[in-house]
Amino acid sequence: MQILFEDYYLLAINKPAGLSSESGRERHPSAEQEALMYFTKQLQEKSTSKRLKATPYLQAVHRLDRPASGILLFAKTKTALVNLMEQFEKREVEKIYWAVVEKQPPTESGKLLHWLKKDAEGRKAVISEKQVRDSQRCELEYKTLEMKGKNWLIEVRPATGRFHQIRAQLAYIGCPIAGDTLYGGHFWKDHQIKLHARSLQFKHPKTGETMTVESPPGEEW
């Protein structure tokens, strides 16, 4: 597990594709479990606080889809968690993703505005042009960076954080993400797609300082 940033309040890691963000009922491993094991070991080796050693606190601030990779932020205190979650809710966090898509986007750059809802099974996002019952507004901007073989590398800046938003919106315009078989892409690797959380900008929950955490995608891209 690659540590991108760490202090008393925060832990930022580069989540590998294939790991869930949070621990849940699924039997597959999670980044939260991996991070907690790391944090607990650090406390046992370095901390003098018996309370922290007995009950280490570490919570994921946001989520990344299991098949995606990239920056995942954890809070080490409840106060930090509340502060950071408020920043995400108020859309004060700047998120930048890189995605490899299987078709050239219709324009070199653009803005996508749709309405999104989950399907009946809750496994997939359904996109529509107009608002329908139980749908949520979803918005993102994209920019084509370069051609990669038969695919295209694009930068994506989501303004909202809906379920499977980037994957579903890009697939809706005919540009599925490489490896994303759920949305029409061709198979790449088990439980992996070429979607990577490249950069995260937010304010430190204690100091208020603007922070930028970055992580390039793996070499296999």
| Active centre residues (catalytic) | 65
Is 19:27 a contact under the CB 8 Å cutoff?
no
Nearest by Cα to 115 from 154, 40, 156, 172: 172
Angle at 171 between CA 168 and CA 172, to 5 degrees: 85
Is 179:189 a contact under the CB 8 Å cutoff?
yes
Q: Which residues contact 153 (CB under 8 A, 6 or more apart)?
A: 98, 99, 100, 144, 145, 146, 147, 221
Is 66:31 a contact under the CB 8 Å cutoff?
no
